[in-house]
Structure 1
Amino acid sequence: MTVTASAAATQAQPYRWRWAALFVILAAEVMDLLDALVTTIAAPTIQRELGGSGSLVQWLSAGYTLAMAVGLITGGRLGDLYGRKRMFVIGALGFTAASLLCGVAASPEMLIGSRVLQGLFGAVMIPQGLGLIKEMFPPQELGKAFGMFGPVMTISSVGGPVLAGWLVDADFFGTGWRMIFLINLPIGLAAALAAMRFLPEHRLSGATKLDLVGVALVSVAAFLMIFPLIQGRELGWPAWTFVSMAASVAVFAVFGRYESRRARSGRDPLVTPGLFRKRAFTGGLVAGLAFFSGMMGLGLVFGLYTQLGLGFTPLQAGLTGLPQAIGGVLGFGLAMAGLQEKLGRGLLQIGTVVMAAGAAVLALTIHLAGLDVSGWQLAPGLALVGVGMGLTMAPFFDIVLAGVEPHESGSASGTLTAVQQLGGALGSAVLGTLFFNLLANEWSFGSSMQVTVWVEVGLLGLTFALSYLLPRRARPEQPGH
């Protein structure tokens, strides 16, 4: 497989152009990260002003992450086929247009559909940037380039909910919650224009065609699982919801068989079937699904609890979650300071234990303080949750991908990232449905939140148990590790 613009030629660009291109890519990452977080704070206000049932709150998050999960599987391949620069610009412009549609949405259905469009265009945009970085920077500068992502992701995770709360409360030009989407317009347009100027052309001349049947199968399977989990509660769990979930499992099985046949026939599969014969990788996928489901689901429910249960404003709710974000920064920093290389898999296990301990402290605080609980009282538990989250996430991807062969790394990385997003959609569906179901059965907000937290502790326990299937080190030094 050859490259139309060779890596050597791409890396020969002026130094300042490479770094300008990197900042364009980082701007796209910021848009994606912010839009994944802002609705956890703004959702109660959106529901109150736009209408819609409790499922609207769940779909605002699940629609975006589900579309992103499905799209990421093929997003990188589109860049190989049609050029990374071209697909990045299309993704950025599409994401910006979808943000505008979110900002002017006149109904819950229009808003959810626009969120799905955001996720799909985000899945086109994000993989191109990561691929271009590998082409633009020589090996000695790659570490520095990828090192920029840590601070950007950290700042976005800290600032996203606070920014959302501030924009909703500030009500600029009477836009209210709509501004959390409209703010993407100048950022997205600037990123697209800068990409046209600074990003290099890059396309693989021998890239294979898209596996459209595989895309369709995995999309249908994911939708058949998520849709009944979100809508079933409001409809009284009719028989079709359970049929749909069973059909999802069947369609996933058909997808697996189809991919195997495609690989045997010499065509490039959407997901390399051999990956699932690796115990460590399969265990890592299930562990990731459990971990990210709990993490995203808890974030959604906590935003509802603080605003609907405690009566906090959106800005107060965003600030209440700040200790968790700061704890995440601290945990990630500790991991990067040498703990990751020293402890390997052990750091991931320590992280899940710390996170579970923080969740237990949070549940106990809510139980003891009731609805009079303050943000300061919630801070210790949230900070521990954040520290554990940072310690767990820092080594996760390297550990899971350690046993993957070099020729499988692209498919493995895409699959793992897609599972991360799918976990977000599943967590929003399951934990959100649990929370609303408890409230419907006349449980208090505090009791409903406590149950949700303990479910998260259970998911962390599952993550801890599955971690023993993973290699001890991200890069095993000898056989048997």
Structure 2
Amino acid sequence: MTADSSTSTGTTAPAEPEPEPGPLPPGYRWRWWILGTVLVAEVMDLLDTTIVSIASPAIQRDFGGGTSQIQWISAAYTLTFAVLLITGARLGDLVGRKRMFLIGTAGFTFFSALCAVASGSGMLIGSRAAQGAFAAMMIPQGLGIMREVFPPKEVGGAFAAFGPVMGLSSVIGPILGGFLVTADLLGTGWRMIFLINIPLGIAALVLGSRMFPRNTRTPGATRLDLPGVLLLSAAFLLLVYPLVQGRDLGWPVWTYLSMAASVPLLAVFALYQRRVRAGGGSPLVEPGLFRNRAFTSALGVGIFFFAAMSGLMLTLTLAMQLGQGWTAMHAGATMIPLSLGIAVGAGLSGAVLGPRYGRRVLHAGMAVMTVGVLGLWASYAHWGLQISSWDLIAGLAVTGLGMGLLMAPFFDIALAGVTDQQAGSAAGVLNAVQQLGGSIGVAALGTGFFSWAASSGFVHATGWTLGLTAAGLVVSAALGFGLPRMARPEPAGH
């Protein structure tokens, strides 16, 4: 009997069976433990950055040396992180993300221990640079591993956990740093800020080795572009090294020549990447990205914004401890309104405002942050060295709110103009620019701060630094008009 005749007699054809679910991703049963492990790695990186800024004056008191050493304690980490982040992501594609995550975590933990037992500033700065290098091997693997173990319908929820964790880390970092330095637990002083990485690192190693899926590689990935790595590393070093060291050396001619040479070397790097792609090779960075106006605008926004943010965080803590004579605990507690503002702004922007208003939220965030920075400048101009923590609450809270509004949707909007094939390379470049911007901010604003403090005092130095921060935010806002209006929509099923 045909289907038509069965219908005419009142019977119904059997319903088509539900399609069989596809095979579960490797590591699916451990996916939430894997998410927790990736977040532990992110927390180690974030805490390491925020805690060290608070502890820098205490470290200098122990080791002595010039003011450039304070800058290098922060810049050595962020610079090597920026230089090697794209390389770390590429190595994950080539040799397996699990393997690179474990290597990066082991190295980060080991050099955290070396930082804690450092006998001098040279050993500490060298260990910080090694920490940043291994963090660049560790951090890029997390997002790729999560995409492997979470089915499409759960990926969005897993990534949503990053915002609150990063916001909480930004709140805890300055407070924890100030407490550890002031409490002097077991007589360790500032060394405890590095010792806390050891149990976290061991936990990440144990969980990662047991639960991460076997090493997976990106299809089509070939060999590492070593000449590209060397060209990019050299360009970054030529720019940042003289910025940090120039003041202590009296700004000899070679410092200016070095900074100028970084620009043509970056151009050589771009030309070389095009040549590798034209020859059918696998470049470190997809050259087509730099023909994308929206993406290049995102790079400009990122450089200026993250430079302003990192330089501001360092110079404020220096002004509080070296200028006002506050303890590390007092300075860390004073920064609580900034951290809370970041958490509130990121929550509002990521969950509500960003998806609805897109690029307008970035501009609003930069405008709010600029108002907050100008408020801090007015407070220092009015109160001088007699300023109290209460006088800074409003300016810090507004500044943090603006930071949070911008940071939450920035990467989604910045990546909206790139193709799916370019997305991995673009994300790596943006993360590297974030770290490079931080290095430049610490170097440039830190150098200016110490120069002005030496000639005109800490109040004058703080005022000039805050003014330059506001100017950087204005430039960043202007470049932001080149970004796409909205973030890229989620693929179907996410």
| TM-score, normalised via structure 1 length | 0.95
Question: Aligned pair 1:139/2:152, yes or no?
Answer: yes
Match of 1:189 in 2: 202
Match of 1:440 in 2: 454
Match of 2:168 in 1: 155
Match of 2:484 in 1: 471
Alignment deviations for residues 435-468 of structure 1 (CA, whole Å, 9 cap, x no partner): 0111122x12111101100101000100111111
Offset of 1:39 from its aligned partner?
1.2
> What amino acid maps onto 1:119 in structure 2?
G
Offset of 1:383 from its aligned partner?
0.3
Question: Aligned pair 1:79/2:79, yes or no?
Answer: no
Question: Aligned pair 1:428/2:438, yes or no?
Answer: no
Match of 1:362 in 2: 376
Match of 1:123 in 2: 136
Offset of 1:10 from its aligned partner?
6.1
| CA distance in structure 2 between the partners assigned to 1:343 and 1:184 by the alignment | 39
Offset of 1:250 from its aligned partner?
2.0
Runs of 4+ in structure 1 deviating by more than 2 angstroms, as ranges, are: 8-15
Superposed counterparts of 1:10-409, under 5 Å: 11=25, 13=27, 15=29, 17-204=30-217, 206-409=220-423
| CA distance in structure 2 between the partners assigned to 1:187 and 1:476 by the alignment | 35
> What amino acid maps onto 2:173 in structure 1?
G
> What amino acid maps onto 2:331 in structure 1?
A
| CA distance in structure 2 between the partners assigned to 1:393 and 1:118 by the alignment | 24
| CA distance in structure 1 between the partners assigned to 2:351 and 2:209 by the alignment | 37
| CA distance in structure 2 between the partners assigned to 1:13 and 1:406 by the alignment | 24
Match of 2:12 in 1: none
* Aligned partner of residue 11 in structure 1, secondary structure: coil
- After superposition, the Cα gap between the structure-2 partners of 1:405 and 1:206, relative to the gap in structure 1 and judged at 3 Å, is closer
Alignment deviations for residues 36-70 of structure 1 (CA, whole Å, 9 cap, x no partner): 11111000000011222111111111111111111
Alignment deviations for residues 382-420 of structure 1 (CA, whole Å, 9 cap, x no partner): 000000011111221111111101111111110011000
- After superposition, the Cα gap between the structure-2 partners of 1:424 and 1:10, relative to the gap in structure 1 and judged at 3 Å, is farther
- After superposition, the Cα gap between the structure-2 partners of 1:135 and 1:10, relative to the gap in structure 1 and judged at 3 Å, is farther
- The number of equivalent residue pairs is 468
| CA distance in structure 1 between the partners assigned to 2:98 and 2:275 by the alignment | 33
Ranges in structure 2 where 5+ consecutive residues have no aligned partner:
1-21
Offset of 1:113 from its aligned partner?
0.5
| TM-score, normalised via structure 2 length | 0.93
| CA distance in structure 2 between the partners assigned to 1:251 and 1:408 by the alignment | 23
> What amino acid maps onto 1:252 in structure 2?
L
| CA distance in structure 2 between the partners assigned to 1:417 and 1:200 by the alignment | 25
| CA distance in structure 2 between the partners assigned to 1:408 and 1:219 by the alignment | 22
> What amino acid maps onto 1:292 in structure 2?
F
Q: Supply the RMSD in Å over aligned alpha carbons.
A: 1.3
| CA distance in structure 1 between the partners assigned to 2:28 and 2:343 by the alignment | 33
Alignment deviations for residues 285-338 of structure 1 (CA, whole Å, 9 cap, x no partner): 011100000000110101100000111110111111110110111111211342
- After superposition, the Cα gap between the structure-2 partners of 1:80 and 1:475, relative to the gap in structure 1 and judged at 3 Å, is closer
> What amino acid maps onto 1:303 in structure 2?
T
* Aligned partner of residue 203 in structure 1, secondary structure: coil
Offset of 1:31 from its aligned partner?
0.5
Offset of 1:168 from its aligned partner?
0.6
Question: Contact 1:10–1:200 (CA<8 Å) still a contact in 2?
Answer: no
Offset of 1:206 from its aligned partner?
3.9
- After superposition, the Cα gap between the structure-2 partners of 1:124 and 1:9, relative to the gap in structure 1 and judged at 3 Å, is farther
Offset of 1:14 from its aligned partner?
5.2
> What amino acid maps onto 1:70 in structure 2?
V
| CA distance in structure 1 between the partners assigned to 2:378 and 2:26 by the alignment | 58
- After superposition, the Cα gap between the structure-2 partners of 1:222 and 1:178, relative to the gap in structure 1 and judged at 3 Å, is same
* Aligned partner of residue 270 in structure 1, secondary structure: coil
**Which structure's CA Rg is the greater one?**
2
| CA distance in structure 2 between the partners assigned to 1:466 and 1:336 by the alignment | 21
- After superposition, the Cα gap between the structure-2 partners of 1:12 and 1:92, relative to the gap in structure 1 and judged at 3 Å, is closer
Question: Contact 1:72–1:127 (CA<8 Å) still a contact in 2?
Answer: yes
Offset of 1:199 from its aligned partner?
1.0
Greater Cα shift, 447-456 or 247-256: 247-256
Offset of 1:207 from its aligned partner?
2.0
Ranges in structure 1 where 5+ consecutive residues have no aligned partner:
1-7
Offset of 1:470 from its aligned partner?
1.0
Question: Contact 2:31–2:149 (CA<8 Å) still a contact in 1?
Answer: yes
Greater Cα shift, 198-207 or 264-273: 198-207
Question: Contact 1:10–1:135 (CA<8 Å) still a contact in 2?
Answer: no
| CA distance in structure 2 between the partners assigned to 1:348 and 1:299 by the alignment | 20
| CA distance in structure 2 between the partners assigned to 1:354 and 1:71 by the alignment | 33
Match of 2:426 in 1: 412
Offset of 1:476 from its aligned partner?
7.7
| CA distance in structure 1 between the partners assigned to 2:268 and 2:28 by the alignment | 49
